[in-house]
């Protein structure tokens, strides 16, 4: 395998050149040399007769042709044949040969047998050597000196031809047809060569093709046998999927309902939480206030009794009795007010906690899809959002005992 890769890497490139109507390639230098000699013969058969017409100085154009083909032949001998054992250098020189040939062709320093105007040159040569020289002069932009009547006629005919006459179009069409025929011939030759060189590979390919067809047939039978099973699994999967979709739809509806309720009751939960904390703090504060107030009132009453009422009852002044009664009444009234405030905050804290618990319970039942019906839902919401009462205003009455005492002691009119 490595030897084949090495041979492929060291393979010499084919020499490809572009002619007037297409491309030619050569895989043998001897064939290329023979082809070059054949191109030189295209004009060499007329060269001797043309050079006898020295007044036209056409020999300068033939020198250009000879020099171009000689340079190409020298390039083959010195740059290509010499380096056939060195593929890298050979391939590089082959590319240079192609560029040199293209340069000569573009500058009209040579022409080949594929030139579409070759038949016109031969036709003019059949008339006379002067007509042949005139055709070459016009085709390759060569200035002819000492133009006589015959040369004038030859140049005129060449100008008419190269201006795009019918004859030129016909010659170009014939040239393209020959090019097509040559390409078809070379294609068949290369195809036959390829078949011969790769006969073993083709046999292997045919064998692999037969094996592939057997595998395809086997897989086709297996696919047909499994199609019914696949269809059954498909039906089962579809049924399970429908059930899952229905279940998911129900869960989504419950979740949506829970979310809506949660969104609607979120502010209520937060509000009652704040109220619970606030009332708990206030209840603690007023518990201290109630204790301090009770102690202060008792201490004041005891202290007043020790200092002002430590005498027989008949000796006690009425003003002191009134003061003692007022002090006792207002003290008890203040203690009652503070106690009511303390109990009110304690009651409101408990009420807020109960409301939060009811809201959370309602949301949990809704999430599980076991929520109450619409009519029961309205009743629950009315219970949750009922107004809170403290009974402070209804029970907030002044010290009636002192008023009654004052009324008794005052003279009647």
Is the pLDDT reported for residue 393 higher than 60? Answer: no
- The answer to the question of residue 241 being in a domain is no
44 lies in the same domain as 191: yes
191 lies in the same domain as 257: no
DSSP 49-82: HHHT-GGGTTHHHHHHHHHHHHHHHHHIIIIIGG
Both structure tokens of 9: 């890497």
Is the pLDDT reported for residue 398 higher than 60? Answer: no
Q: What pLDDT sits at residue 5?
A: 41
31 lies in the same domain as 164: yes
320 lies in the same domain as 395: yes
Greatest mean pLDDT among 105-109, 270-274, 368-372, 380-384 lies in 105-109
Region class of 32: left (phi > 0), else alpha (psi between -120 and 50), else beta = alpha
Is the pLDDT reported for residue 208 higher than 50? Answer: yes
Q: What pLDDT sits at residue 4?
A: 46
- The answer to the question of residue 320 being in a domain is yes
Reported as a single tens digit per residue, the pLDDT across 56-105 is: 888 888 899 999 999 999 999 998 888 888 888 999 999 999 999 999 99
266 lies in the same domain as 328: yes
DSSP state of 25: E
Residue span of the structural domain in which 13 resides: 2-197
Reported as a single tens digit per residue, the pLDDT across 330-374 is: 888 888 888 888 888 888 888 878 777 877 777 676 665 555 666
What average pLDDT does the segment 295-307 reach? 79
267 lies in the same domain as 186: no
Domain boundary pick from 167, 197, 227 = 197
183 lies in the same domain as 291: no
**The pairing of beta strand 15-18 with beta strand 23-26:** antiparallel
- The answer to the question of residue 31 being in a domain is yes
Per-residue confidence band for 409, with pLDDT thresholds at 50, 70 and 90: very low
Q: What pLDDT sits at residue 60?
A: 87
123-131: long-range contacts (C-beta < 8 A, 24 or more apart)? Answer: 124/154, 124/157, 124/158, 125/46, 128/154, 129/46, 129/49, 129/50, 129/52, 129/53, 130/53, 130/56, 130/154, 131/157
Is the pLDDT reported for residue 402 higher than 50? Answer: no
291 lies in the same domain as 188: no
Is the pLDDT reported for residue 392 higher than 60? Answer: no
- The answer to the question of residue 226 being in a domain is no
Mean pLDDT is lowest, of 29-43, 53-67, 137-151, 350-364, for 350-364
Pure H helices in 140-198: 149-162, 166-197
Percent of the chain with pLDDT over 70: 71
Mean pLDDT is lowest, of 131-145, 297-311, 333-347, 367-381, for 367-381
Per-residue confidence band for 184, with pLDDT thresholds at 50, 70 and 90: low
188 lies in the same domain as 269: no
37 lies in the same domain as 108: yes
Greatest mean pLDDT among 193-202, 312-321, 328-337 lies in 328-337
CB 134, CB 144: distance < 8 Å:
yes
Report the alpha-carbon angle 153-154-157, nearest 5.
85
Region class of 164: left (phi > 0), else alpha (psi between -120 and 50), else beta = left
What average pLDDT does the segment 251-277 reach? 70
386-389: long-range contacts (C-beta < 8 A, 24 or more apart)? Answer: 388/348, 388/351
169 lies in the same domain as 293: no
Q: What pLDDT sits at residue 143?
A: 86
The total number of structural domains in the chain stands at 2
Greatest mean pLDDT among 48-52, 120-124, 200-204 lies in 120-124
What is the residue-averaged pLDDT of the chain?
A: 77
Domain boundary pick from 153, 176, 197 = 197
CB 384, CB 359: distance < 8 Å:
yes
pTM listed for this prediction: 0.44
Q: What pLDDT sits at residue 315?
A: 60
Q: What pLDDT sits at residue 67?
A: 94
Q: What pLDDT sits at residue 405?
A: 47
Q: What pLDDT sits at residue 314?
A: 60
């Amino acid at each position: 395998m490595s030897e084949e890769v090495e041979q492929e890497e060291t393979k010499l490139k084919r020499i490809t050149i572009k002619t007037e109507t297409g491309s030619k390639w050569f895989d043998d230098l001897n064939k290329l040399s023979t082809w070059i000699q054949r191109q030189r013969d295209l004009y060499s058969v007329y060269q001797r007769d043309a050079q006898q017409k020295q007044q036209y100085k056409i020999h300068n154009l033939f020198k250009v042709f000879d020099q171009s083909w000689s340079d190409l032949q020298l390039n083959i001998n010195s740059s290509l044949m010499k380096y056939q054992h060195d593929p890298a250098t050979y391939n590089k020189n082959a590319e240079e040969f192609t560029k040199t040939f293209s340069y000569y062709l573009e500058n009209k320093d040579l022409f080949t047998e594929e030139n579409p105007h070759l038949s016109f040159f031969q036709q003019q040569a059949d008339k006379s050597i002067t007509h042949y020289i005139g055709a070459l002069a016009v085709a390759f932009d060569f200035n002819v000196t000492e133009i006589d009547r015959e040369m004038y006629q030859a140049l005129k005919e060449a100008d008419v031809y190269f201006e795009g006459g019918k004859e030129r179009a016909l010659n170009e069409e014939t040239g393209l047809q020959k090019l097509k025929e040559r390409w078809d011939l070379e294609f068949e030759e290369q195809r036959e060569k390829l078949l011969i060189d790769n006969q073993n590979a083709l046999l292997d390919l045919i064998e692999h093709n037969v094996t592939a067809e057997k595998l395809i047939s086997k897989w086709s039978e297996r696919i047909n046998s499994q199609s019914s099973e696949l269809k059954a699994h498909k039906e089962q999967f579809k049924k399970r999927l429908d059930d899952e979709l229905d279940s998911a739809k129900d869960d989504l509806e419950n979740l949506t309902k829970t979310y809506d309720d949660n969104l609607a009751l979120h502010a209520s939960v937060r509000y009652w939480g704040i109220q619970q904390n606030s009332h708990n703090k206030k209840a603690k504060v007023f518990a201290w206030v109630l204790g301090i107030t009770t102690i202060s009132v008792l201490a004041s009453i005891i202290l007043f009794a020790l200092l002002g009422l430590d005498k027989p009852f008949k000796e006690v002044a009425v003003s002191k009795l009134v003061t003692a009664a007022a002090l006792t009444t207002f003290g008890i009234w203040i203690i009652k007010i503070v106690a009511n405030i303390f109990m009110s905050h304690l009651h409101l804290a408990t009420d807020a906690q109960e409301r939060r618990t009811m809201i959370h319970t309602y949301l949990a039942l809704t999430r599980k899809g076991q929520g109450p019906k619409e009519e029961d839902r309205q009743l629950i919401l009315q219970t949750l959002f009922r107004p809170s009462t403290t009974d402070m205003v209804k029970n907030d009455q002044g010290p009636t005992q002192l008023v009654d005492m004052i009324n008794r002691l005052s003279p009647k009119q």
